[in-house]
Amino acid sequence: MYIGNDYESDSDDDWFYDSIKRYDSLLMYNIHGTVSCMDMPSSDHLVVAASRDSKHELLELKLPDRLLEEKDAGLSNNRDFKMLSHGYSTSHIKQICATDEAVVSSERCGVNYYTIPQDKNINNIISQKCSLRQDVEFPVLGRQGTKVYSGTYNQNISINDLLSSQKSQSITSTEKEGDISVLKAQNDDLYVCLKNRNHIMKYDTRSNCWTDLVNEKSFGNMIWTMDVCINKMIACVSSQGQYYLYDQRFLKNVVQNTAIGMETNSSTHLQISFSPTTNNLIGISGFDKTLMIYDVADKSENPKPVFVHDGHRNKGADMIIMHLWHPCIEQLMFSADNQGELQAWKFRSQLCDR
């Protein structure tokens, strides 16, 4: 699956030698298509959606043993992804939520449900079982457990239970209608970020009540996205490079506020995410072909990244499409660029020590 390098200049030799000091692991692969999204249903599996020409694929991949081994475990014969199963969709896939047994996808025709074969044979096919929604186009997805949330704006959110594959509940906000950029389910709450303004709401699934968390005035044509971690922190970033960090217990005070120094005209790939293993690290991508890591414990007036991943250096690569944190292994990340290169990398821990 890995294809040789077509790097931009001789300076990449210097970058390669420098990377030995900065990374514990750095593996690069070619997916043979443009990755649109990915998800990790378990600690050793990765599900990827990719498009090439008119073909749109779903790939279930097993992570290389090299990534899962302890540091200094010695040489490993397995340094490549292994194809476990694959299948096709009828259109481009915007987002997926994956479990060990199923994939829920956001497509032009709505929300589709695919089954993953449990007999891991490359000849087995990921196949579409049913359509969960057909009344929305490329909706935003969120998942917790067997429940999948979907919607395009805050007036048409619905909940589907994967055990029944049926639409189970509709959610309607009393707020002014707004396009959604993120749906994040956590415990019994659903967090909703509105795309065109820094407005974050929380829906309590037990009481069916909405709460305004963040509602800042936005100026200009900005796009917003966000993430929430289990310790009640909310991180937001705009397409004009404004980054905010909030504590839900003290929302009047902004924990961090800094200008990243970059802007993007596209909202498609803008992403911010907390590390699930520590909750003190935040990844930001979608401005260019780099991925920035911030430390939420940084109390300085203008926090700077503690690490910048700049490994997407092939010719034509100018944007990171998406990134993922490994759910269990600290500082292990996955990133995909617009040329179809998937990178798996673990940056050195001492760079983030305080």
**pLDDT given at position 109:** 94
**Chain length of the chain:** 354
pTM of the predicted model as reported, rounded to 2 decimal places: 0.90
Mean confidence (pLDDT) of the chain = 86
Sheet holding 271-274, edge to edge: 271-274, 281-285, 291-295, 307-309
Nearest to 160 by CA among 175, 171, 176, 172: 171
**pLDDT given at position 170:** 84
Distances from the Cα of 126 to the Cαs of 87, 114, 160, 257, in angstroms? 4, 6, 20, 43
Tens-place pLDDT, residues 71-92: 554 444 557 888 899 999 989 9
Backbone region of residue 251 per phi and psi (left: phi > 0; alpha: psi in -120 to 50; beta: other values):
alpha
Distances from the Cα of 127 to the Cαs of 54, 114, 117, 290, 345, in angstroms? 18, 5, 8, 34, 31
**Dihedral, CA of residue 258, residue 290, residue 334 and residue 296, to nearest 10:** -20
Tens-place pLDDT, residues 306-339: 999 999 988 888 999 999 999 999 999 999 999 9
**How is residue 346 written in tokens?**
């673990």
CA 291 to chain centre: 12
The neighbour count for residue 219, using CB atoms within 10 Å, is 7
Distances from the Cα of 150 to the Cαs of 22, 141, 289, 326, in angstroms? 39, 5, 29, 24
The least confident of 41-50, 71-80, 164-173, 295-304 is 71-80
Collapse the DSSP code of 351 into the 3-class scheme (helix H, G, I; strand E, B; otherwise coil) and give the result: helix
Instruction: Check if the beta carbon of residue 267 is closer than 8 Å to that of residue 239.
Output: yes
Q: Helix-strand-coil percent breakdown of the chain, rounded to 5?
A: 5, 50, 45
Q: What percent of the chain has pLDDT over 70?
A: 90
Q: Which residues, 6+ apart, have CB-to-CB distance to 68 below 8 Å? A: 43, 44, 329
DSSP 78-135: --S-EEEEEEEESS-EEEEEE-SSEEEEEETTEEEEEEPPSS--TT-EEEEEEEEE-S
Instruction: Check if the beta carbon of residue 166 is closer than 8 Å to that of residue 158.
Output: no
Tens-place pLDDT, residues 245-282: 999 999 988 999 999 989 887 778 999 999 999 888 99
**pLDDT given at position 76:** 44
Q: E strand or H helix at 147, and its extent?
A: strand 147-151
CA atoms lying within 13 Å on the CB side of residue 128: 14
pLDDT-derived band of residue 7, with 50, 70 and 90 as boundaries?
very low
Q: Which residues, 6+ apart, have CB-to-CB distance to 66 below 8 Å? A: 25, 27, 76, 78, 79
Nearest to 64 by CA among 348, 346, 313: 346
